[in-house]
Amino acid sequence: MESNKDSMIDKAEARDSSNDVDVRLLDTILASKSLKDDKGLETGAHSLRKNGLSVELKSTPNVRIEKKEDHPGIDVFVRDDTPLEFVHVPVIITKGGFDDVVYNDFHIGRNAHAIIVAGCGIHNDDACNAQHDGIHRFFLDEGADVQYVENHYGEGEGSGERILNPETDVHLGKGAVLRMEMVQIKGVDSTVRTTNAELDDNATLLVTEKIMTSQKQSAKTIFNVKLNGKDSKCQVTSRSYAIDDSSQKFISNIEGNAKCFAHVECDAIIRDHGKVTSEPAITANDVDANMIHEAQIGKIAGEQLVKLMTLGLSEKEAEKEIINGFLA
């Protein structure tokens, strides 16, 4: 059976002469070993957007995807008690001088289980900027369980920038679980990533963020989380790598408004003239709120390089292995 990713790539090839670019972008932002190896990938719904236009929508019996009437974007509805569905919603941009804004809402029914794979790939060979701002809202009903994967990637030989500014608003009902994996692969010149979340009783939010910046690129991430429900939980883990003259800033504001648990961790490696700022803030508004934050920024330890080089790796190879392990 043909997978959703392969289906979207095949149709991208048939649409225009830029099929090589389309295929590469889709393959990069949809790549995930855990998803590729799961046969459930073959049965999911999907929406493909290119250069500001909806190219294709596909629903399944458990997942309904509809175009919005008041804004560019889609509404995704996952039925109650859905055992497992994959939903792919990639966006690709293949030209400069383009600013795309899209509004996507995800409505996840009671006790439904879904894996949603999003992300944007930009190819810009022009002198003008190419930009995509994705505004995503998640509404998880009681007991819903969602894994959300968002990959960002930029490429191209043009002097115009590749800009991505995602905003995610999360509303978790009682006992709902949302696992967010947000990765900036490479090639993004400027990004501001904002996540706002509110959690009800026994809800859980788990966020893993991985960012790489180089040259003069900049990245800013902001997490605003309100733990309003009893026994709600939040864990934010950020791993980043800044080299050359790039800069990054990590900001988190976590509020414990009931008996809850929160753990925020920001680890960064810098090299050359890279700069990283971490501003983790936690506020306990309830005597039973248990909240922790950690931050660590520094260069690769010399003994790590030496140990790998004694095994026959060059310094460059050793550094690459350390970074791959750090961001894994």
166 or 1, which is more confident? 166
pLDDT at 311: 61
pLDDT at 43: 52
208 or 4, which is more confident? 208
Q: How confident is the model at residue 326 (pLDDT cuts 50, 70, 90)?
A: low
**Euclidean distance between CA atoms 296 and 265, whole angstroms:** 8
Percent of the chain topping pLDDT 70:
83
Q: How confident is the model at residue 263 (pLDDT cuts 50, 70, 90)?
A: very high
Query: Whose CA is closest to 170, among 191, 140, 144?
Result: 140
Q: Give tens-digit pLDDT for 187-228.
A: 999 999 999 999 999 999 999 999 999 999 999 999 999 999
Q: How confident is the model at residue 314 (pLDDT cuts 50, 70, 90)?
A: confident
Cβ(78)–Cβ(49) below 8 Å: no
Kindly tell me if the per-residue pLDDT of 327 is higher than 90: no
**Euclidean distance between CA atoms 127 and 280, whole angstroms:** 37
pLDDT at 35: 38
